[in-house]
A and B are shown apart, each in its own frame.
Chain A
Amino acid sequence: KAGVTQTPRYLIKTRGQQVTLSCSPISGHRSVSWYQQTPGQGLQFLFEYFSETQRNKGNFPGRFSGRQFSNSRSEMNVSTLELGDSALYLCASSFMSKNTEAFFGQGTRLTVV
């Protein structure tokens, strides 16, 4: 059974640009959550999607958005990138919404220069 796949693994962008990250959950999992991880702030919840609907949202500005497709694959987008957006972005899949047992991908390391 394939795990959670995130692409790309590494990304370098310039301030002001936008970026789209992709996540393919474990087959059969319908919930996808996104997290931002930085050394100073730890693991911060961005949002959760279940059956193409956003179920929960963390305290991030509107520049951070996401969506989920009918096959449960999810994308997150960050517009007008700032230096502080440099982080490891992690995607986690679960069978059900609010299922706290999550299976994480390897993450996308985003560097904003």
Chain B
Amino acid sequence: TQLLEQSPQFLSIQEGENLTVYCNSSSVFSSLQWYRQEPGEGPVLLVTVVTGGEVKKLKRLTFQFGDARKDSSLHITAAQPGDTGLYLCAGAQTNAGKSTFGDGTTLTVKP
């Protein structure tokens, strides 16, 4: 059973469209990270959210942490081809020694 469920698994959209991807769990996390990974490269940290209900914006990307700290969403406005990649969420539980990663959402933005 995957601790963090990401949806959708695959998403293909046209340049300029908006999109939202989700990261859900039945467990509570002390913090949650979002990463983006391009083919053949390692994941790159985008953001960390810590407080329930927290919203963080990074240019066209908006990240939200659920009030109960069990889920998160990533919204991209006016997607660009450069946004193409695998988006991974990772959560840390209070008493765990490591982060757990979701399986990711593969995003393709067509020009």
A residues within 8 Å of B by Cβ? 4, 33, 35, 42-43, 45, 48, 55-56, 58, 90, 92, 97-98, 100-107, 109
Contact = CB atoms under 8 A, between A and B. Distances in A.
Contact of B45 (A43, A90, A102): A102
A45 B98 contact: yes
B97 A103 contact: no
A55 B97 contact: yes
A97 B41 contact: no
B97 A48 contact: yes
A98 B42 contact: no
Interface in B35-71: 35, 40-45, 48
B21 interface: no
Contact of B98 (A98, A104, A106, A107): A98
Interface of B: 31, 33, 35, 40-45, 48, 88, 90-92, 96-104
Contacts of A98: 92, 96-98
A105 B41 CA distance: 8
A31 B33 CA distance: 17
13 contacts: A43-B43, A43-B88, A56-B97, A58-B98, A90-B43, A100-B90, A100-B91, A100-B99, A102-B45, A104-B43, A104-B44, A105-B42, A107-B42
Contacts, number: 57
Contact of A101 (B40, B41, B48, B100): B48
Given A56-B97, A90-B42, A105-B42, A42 B48 contact: no
A4 B43 CA distance: 12
A18 B102 CA distance: 29
A43 B101 contact: yes
B97 A97 contact: yes
Among B41, B96, B97, residue most surrounded by chain A Cβ atoms (within 10 Å)? B97
Contacts of B40: 106-107, 109
A100 B92 contact: yes
